Amino acid sequence: MIKVNKKKCIGCGACASICPEVFEMGDDGKAHVKNQKNLPCVKEAIESCPVKAISK
Ligand code: SF4
């Protein structure tokens, strides 16, 4: 299951720009998982997150 650790997320927006089909920025300034599509860009987003807040 794709998850964002909201305590770790600093709201940089990288995951949402790399993989907009799965991640979006919420009103709380944190990334949200929109769905559990296991696209290649999910892995890319995980690797690009500066605080390693995304897990799968
Ligand atoms: S890349 Fe990481 S820190 Fe940046 S918005 Fe996404 S989950 Fe948050």
For the Cβ of 18 lying below 6 angstroms from any atom of ligand 1, the answer is: no
Strand ranges (E), 1-56 = 3-4, 23-25, 31-33, 54-55
Write down the pLDDT at residue 44: 98
Pick the CATH number of 3-55 from 3.20.20.70, 3.10.20.30, 3.30.70.20, 3.40.50.300: 3.30.70.20
Q: What is the dihedral of CA 4, 19, 37, 3, to 10 degrees?
A: 0
Residue with tokens 């997320």: 9
Write down the pLDDT at residue 55: 98
Please give the number of the atom of ligand 1 that sits closest to the Cα of 8.
3
For the Cβ of 31 lying below 6 angstroms from any atom of ligand 1, the answer is: yes
CA nearest 19: which of 27, 8, 56? 56
pLDDT tens figures, 1-56: 999 999 999 999 999 999 999 999 999 999 999 999 999 999 999 999 999 999 99
pTM over 0.85: yes
- Protein residue closest via CA to atom 8 of ligand 1: 9
Write down the pLDDT at residue 54: 98
